[in-house]
Structure 1
Amino acid sequence: MKANQRYVLAEEAVRIVRSGDRVFIHGSAATPAQLVKAMQNRYRELGNVELVSITTLGDVDFDSPEYRKSFFYNSLFVSAVTRKVANSDSGDYIPIFLSEIPRLFKENRLPLDVAMIQVSPPDVHGYCSLGTSVDIAVAAVNAAKHVIAMVNPQMPRTHGDGFIHSDKIDTMVWEDSRLPEVDYSSKNGDVVRQIGLHIASLIEDGATLQLGIGSIPDQVLKNLNGHRNLGLHTEMFSDGIIPLIETGIINNSCKKLDRGRSVTSFMVGTRKLYDFVDDNPQIRVKDIAYVNDTGIIRQNPKVMAINSAIEIDLTGQVCADSIGTFQYSGIGGQMDFIRGASLSEGGKAIIALPSVTSKGISRIVPYLKDGAGVVTTRGHVHWVVTEYGVVDLFGKNLKQRAKALIGIAHPDHREGLEKAFHVRFGGDSVGFASPGKIQ
């Protein structure tokens, strides 16, 4: 802590924010909600304040009408909390690979006036930890002109790149409050369970895992109890990882980089997860520029990158961030890991999705919706998994991959997809893949 520095109230800390400033907000379970609210309470006296962040969680609201003239939310990844504002006149979205976001701060493409973060209390040497979310936050702290830290004793102290000496913090606010919690395991139905089984069958002993967010990755983990010597190098993880580390199934013994250590960049889960990673030397929480670097990812063996999609067309183009022109999420780290896994020796890049939406609409489509964003190109996509099977599109021509994808579409939609195939490519239906056949 700087000489004579003291803890102040959130209302005092955010007085540094001025009209026209760009403010970074720490994301995920580390979202400093109390600081955000204190800043928003000044909306009558502020104007044109730009807020930048990735996923935010917790009791925060960026969409209230009274905030819209004062704050502009420039999202680096859209989440449920920011979806409305990002699609409004008071917000927008920056398409970017997660691995490259730190460059925006370091190269002053997005100069930061203020960074609002949440950290663990200083240790005896004066170091705080960014805890559950190192990702882009360490770059933001290093680039910002002024750093405000919400110091929370419930924030775990994690090992890796997230240590920040209190001398780098300009203003500190003490706040003892629970971190946001998310439990993905309760959402697993029959479709998700079947997808999880399919993916688990592709994972070999000694593989290095990367898992995205949600119920499908959680279900995959539940099916790995018979595996051995797995590694973990992933941009995020949740509670499902814990039993595999505790039983030694994930021991990182086969990794070439960070051997013996599980590597991540942020974590979202329950209090059990936050307690598990607290001061745990087995876990390294590192800068996203390292974790999601394709050149780093590819060096580990048999990288299994498991990511999701909103829809995929018959040629293999993957839309994972928008529903037509509506910005639903973001590019995130999907392409970082899809490419890294594809280049890894024995690696598999997997796109996993239920065959239909909750309304029964096919996710495998003849053409992506008008305005939809292509996150993973058809040149990058390899493995695709639905509850009806697994196909490998690598090396297949347009007709072959269309037939393969129709074979794992929902049965109610295969006839319509076959008709779309004939309109586009001609020919008859001979050779369409059967359900569940591995291509």
Structure 2
Amino acid sequence: MLTLSVCAVSAPFFSTLRRTVLLFGSRTFMEQTQIHKPFTMGGKRPKYSTADEAVKSIKSGDQVFIHTAVAAPQHLIRAMTARASELKGVVPVHIHTEPGTVSAGAPYADPVYEDIFRSKCLFIGSNHRQAVNDKRADFVPCFLGEVPEFFRKGKIPLDVAMITVSPPDKHGWCSLGTSVDVSLAAVESAKYVIAQVNSYMPRTHGAGIIHVSHIDELVEHHSPLPEIGSPHVPHHIESVGKHIADLIPDGACLQMGVGAIPDATLRHLGNHRNLGIHTEMFSNGLVPLLEKGVITNHNKHILPGKCAVSFVMGYGDFYKYLNDNPLFFFAEVSIINNPRMIKWNKLMHSINSCIEIDLTGQVCSDSMGLKMYSGVGGQVDFVRGASLSEGGKAIIALPSVTSKRHGNHSRIVPTLKTGSGVVTSRAHVHYVATEYGVVNLFGKSIRERAELLISIAHPMHRETLEKAARERFGPSFRTFY
């Protein structure tokens, strides 16, 4: 018999709530946020099943949500894929999932199943990139922070949600673990919820604590979470990270992603003080700064004392570090990625990367010409939120050229490739960093922007970029660097 426990809520939490009410005042705004809403008891009586039994609830034509990133329930996914001969027109709905290969992470995206499964990607991961570009899967352009409303308002109705949870405690409460993001809304909105119970899933604090009475079927299967990332960072990326770190003052609040540039930046912040975290996602790079006392979250206005995050990926002992760790508060992306929330953290510094940027400052982050690569994610929300923050900076960071394997082409270009999406407009873009320095485009004319961006391009491409700029702006155009 499942019983309801009364959860103690810390004084800083109520302090944050009070400040949020004072800041926004609006009942409507507060009702739209989940940061202050405990997840209540549901009305379901879950049963334990095998994966094969549980996925029989999936019918032809169903839209099936799959938990995000390393929380993707691979045991359930394999069981669903094994039913392919019994199904038709099933639509898996998700952000990106891990592992990043089709065979390991998304077997239903294999071309042999194109008449059975057609994914609806809200962000494109590596295991769906080919399927989207081969027109076997669909991409939905969206701000990640708006996805929960897609589910709650029925814009993308969900028939089934497949998630991974930590083992329930004695009161029946379990955790969405590494990914609260859009997954909390999926659990609330789906008609039927199947949960893989995995003892390797960390029990994380925050809004992802749910009761088993919101779940229809529980499937026990224990396996390590995928490990994502690498401690190795190329030398030129280290230089990008150093330039970014030099922009960040003591007391700043940071948003960064997962990858070489965020890791390089974090490595150069060891002598900073009183940094805070309010970010969509993070990885291992944060841990040394927490252990050293560089990250304290003391100066944050939203969730002071906590690293506010939506989902995580990492490697090694990273997931063990998260387990039952009150330093981290996992919240939905409608909160974490909300510019109205982000801007209230003073000295908010957002660090985002891109595929290429043109000489006017237009940023492409989701595509390579007509070929889709990723998605919009939270970049625009954090760029805007950081720009509005008192003392904040919005930073776009990229290496100056593509890898040697991809031809060492300049990533600062005269114009974006035909078909490329403009994720972040030139009006939004302020700071741009490469290994050759940092420029601030805020308040600069189109011509001035071109001059500044060429100054941080790779030297072997500057002459070509100058020629293109002269053709656009006239023969008197020249750069000074």
TM bucket, shorter chain: over 0.9
Of 169, 172, 183, the residue aligned with 2:215 is 169
5 Å-filtered alignment, 1:298-377, equals 298-358=343-403, 359-377=407-425
CA distance in 2, matches of 1:142, 1:41: 27
Q: What do residues 29-65 of structure 1 show as CA deviations (whole Å, max 9, x unaligned)?
A: 1011111111111111111111110010022224322
Establish whether residue 191 from structure 1 lines up as the match of residue 236 from structure 2.
yes
Of 67, 72, 90, the residue aligned with 2:118 is 72
TM-aligned CA distance change 1:356 to 1:291, over 3 Å:
same
Establish whether residue 120 from structure 1 lines up as the match of residue 170 from structure 2.
no
Per the TM alignment, residue 269 of structure 1 is displaced from its structure 2 partner at its CA by 0.2
Conserved 8 A contact 1:151-1:172: yes
Query: For residue 264 of structure 2, what is the aligned residue in structure 1?
Result: 219
Q: Which amino acid aligns with 2:337?
A: N
CA distance in 2, matches of 1:84, 1:267: 24
Per the TM alignment, residue 433 of structure 1 is displaced from its structure 2 partner at its CA by 3.6
CA distance in 2, matches of 1:40, 1:72: 12
Conserved 8 A contact 1:62-1:81: no
TM-aligned CA distance change 1:4 to 1:91, over 3 Å:
closer
Query: For residue 437 of structure 1, what is the aligned residue in structure 2?
Result: none
CA distance in 2, matches of 1:429, 1:410: 19
CA distance in 2, matches of 1:4, 1:373: 46
Of 384, 390, 413, the residue aligned with 2:432 is 384
5 Å-filtered alignment, 1:6-405, equals 6-58=47-99, 59-60=104-105, 61-186=107-232, 188-358=233-403, 359-405=407-453
Per the TM alignment, residue 190 of structure 1 is displaced from its structure 2 partner at its CA by 1.1
CA distance in 2, matches of 1:292, 1:429: 40
TM-aligned CA distance change 1:433 to 1:162, over 3 Å:
farther
Structure 1 residues without counterparts, runs of 5 or longer:
435-439
Q: TM-score normalised to the size of structure 1?
A: 0.97
5 Å-filtered alignment, 1:418-433, equals 418-430=466-478, 432-433=479-480
TM-aligned CA distance change 1:207 to 1:136, over 3 Å:
same
Q: TM-score normalised to the size of structure 2?
A: 0.88
TM-aligned CA distance change 1:381 to 1:3, over 3 Å:
closer
Q: What do residues 124-173 of structure 1 show as CA deviations (whole Å, max 9, x unaligned)?
A: 21111000000000000000000000000010000001011001100110
CA distance in 2, matches of 1:236, 1:24: 20
Per the TM alignment, residue 3 of structure 1 is displaced from its structure 2 partner at its CA by 8.1
Secondary structure of the 1:193 match is: helix
CA distance in 2, matches of 1:218, 1:5: 41
Per the TM alignment, residue 86 of structure 1 is displaced from its structure 2 partner at its CA by 1.7
CA distance in 1, matches of 2:83, 2:426: 47
Q: Which amino acid aligns with 2:339?
A: T
Secondary structure of the 1:116 match is: strand
Corresponding pairs, count:
432
Per the TM alignment, residue 429 of structure 1 is displaced from its structure 2 partner at its CA by 4.2
RMSD over equivalenced CA pairs, Å = 1.1
Q: Which amino acid aligns with 1:363?
A: R
Q: What do residues 204-227 of structure 1 show as CA deviations (whole Å, max 9, x unaligned)?
A: 000000001211000100000110
Secondary structure of the 1:235 match is: strand
Conserved 8 A contact 1:185-1:219: no
Conserved 8 A contact 1:62-1:85: no
TM-aligned CA distance change 1:24 to 1:433, over 3 Å:
farther
CA distance in 1, matches of 2:207, 2:230: 27
TM-aligned CA distance change 1:174 to 1:402, over 3 Å:
same
Conserved 8 A contact 1:208-1:233: yes
Structure 2 residues without counterparts, runs of 5 or longer:
3-42
Identity %: 52
TM-aligned CA distance change 1:3 to 1:256, over 3 Å:
closer
CA distance in 1, matches of 2:108, 2:380: 28
CA distance in 2, matches of 1:411, 1:428: 21
